Amino acid sequence: MRPQDDRLHSPLRVERLSLPDSLALATHSHAPFAALGYGTPHGVAWMPTVNARVLSPQGAMADVWHVGHAGDGTQVRSGTTGIARWRTDGHWLLGAIDLDEAAEGQSLTELAQRAYRDLFRTLDQADTPHLQRIWNYLPRINADGGGLERYRQFNLGRQEAFFEAGRAAFEGAPAACALGIRQGALSIRFLAGRAAPLPVENPRQVSAYRYPETYGPRSPTFSRAALADIGDGQVALFISGTASIVGHETVHHGDVREQARETLRNLEAVIASAHAQTTARFSLDALDCVVYVRHPSDTEAVREVIEAALGAQSPMARHAVYLEADICRSDLLVEIEAHTVAAGRLQAA
């Protein structure tokens, strides 16, 4: 392989660890590339956290991202661009934005647009132009924001920023999730790289960027999943927040067990759809997922559905992180997002 190719394929790896195991990776002179923490302490620079309560008995967990090969001298740079904090090795970038609404005195639409503007500036400056995955956390997502639900306000500002930056807001939009937190900052985390991932849709669902206007004046900007070559012959599948939606409609109102089963069918469909674009083979029972539950009292019911479908000893069941969060439609009780890695290569659709 020519050195040029080698540089393009700086490998990316991810592992899900307990808080103590993830913190043990950092020494006084070295921190891992980056991590996304669930229930982890605030103030760990390389591990931005989410302001949502962990409902699973394992407690705080982290997805730790590694870049480069051990001992290859990979240098991680960190910095800020406007309101975005980031870490990059020149091939991959993990960034975080936390915007305190009260302190800013702007509407959520304006804040979302500003956040995404700085996010895109970050990607351009770091030469990692392609978003692989975005995680959005909005305080009081279902609350009214002066005549428009706050999630819909967010969608307005987000889509506007995509247009402004000349980025794909429909086909080719990044994989994402958008959840509600009770309080705290508007929090956005993002993983970007040098190569564009392949977008994946779910044939059981209308593409979210084509939702009818009944769900808000501007559509949500995300693809159902994305496939990325992460080097060393591995392919990552990033699955966006997935819920009990068929077509564009919420199904199984008020029934969290049926919503969880429908969500698993949608995850299965996304995986099948991804298989048309890669030689890698993924399996529902091997996903590393985050399960967002609106009502903490529903946690056991959702866990039972997952364990009945996939086995209590499946990696999916054993690695699942359960978080208390609001889902972007008030009739949705549960949402699951995930990532998974398998050997293979990408194929054009």
Distance CA 347, CA 349 (A): 6
Q: Is 323 in the site for ligand 3EB (CB under 6 A)?
A: no
Q: How far is the CB of 205 from ligand 3EB (least distance, A)?
A: 7
**Active-site residue flag, 307:** no
3-state secondary structure the chain: CCHHHHHHCCCEEEEEEEHHHHHHCCECCECCCEEEEECCCCCCCCCCEECCCECCCCCCEEEEEEECCCCCCCCCEEEEECCEEEEECCCEEEEEEEECHHHHCCCHHHHHHHHHHHHHHHHHHHCCCEEEEEEEEEECCCCECCCCEHHHHHHHHHHHHHHHCCCCCECECCEEEEEEECCCCEEEEEEEECCCCEEECCCCECCHHHCCHHHCCCCCCCECEEEEEEECCEEEEEEEEECCEEECEECCCCCHHHHHHHHHHHHHHHHHHHHCCECCCCCHHHCEEEEEECCHHHHHHHHHHHHHHHCCCCHHHHHCEEEECEECCCCCCEEEEEEEEEECCECCC
Q: Is 191 in the site for ligand 3EB (CB under 6 A)?
A: no
Nearer to ligand 3EB, 101 or 201 (CB): 201
- 301, 328, 333, 341: which one binds ligand 3EB (CB under 6 A): 328
Q: How far is the CB of 179 from ligand 3EB (least distance, A)?
A: 8
Residue number of the CB closest to ligand 3EB reads: 241
- 61, 123, 178, 305: which one binds ligand 3EB (CB under 6 A): 178
Nearer to ligand 3EB, 48 or 68 (CB): 48
Q: Is 226 in the site for ligand 3EB (CB under 6 A)?
A: no
Distance CA 139, CA 148 (A): 15
CB under 6 A: which stretch of 57-65, 172-180, 227-235, 338-346 binds ligand 3EB?
Answer: 172-180
Q: Is 176 in the site for ligand 3EB (CB under 6 A)?
A: yes
CB under 6 A: which stretch of 10-18, 19-27, 69-77, 174-182 binds ligand 3EB?
Answer: 174-182
Q: Which residues, numbered 107-166, are part of the site for ligand 3EB (CB under 6 A)?
A: 136
Which is catalytic among the residues 149, 201, 335, 337?
Answer: 335
Q: Which residues, numbered 235-254, are part of the site for ligand 3EB (CB under 6 A)?
A: 240-241, 243, 245
CB under 6 A: which stretch of 74-82, 141-149, 170-178, 318-326 binds ligand 3EB?
Answer: 170-178
Q: How far is the CB of 208 from ligand 3EB (least distance, A)?
A: 5
Q: Is 220 in the site for ligand 3EB (CB under 6 A)?
A: yes
Binding site for ligand 3EB (CB under 6 A): 136, 176-178, 208, 220, 222, 240-241, 243, 245, 328
Q: Which residues does the annotation mark as catalytic?
A: 335
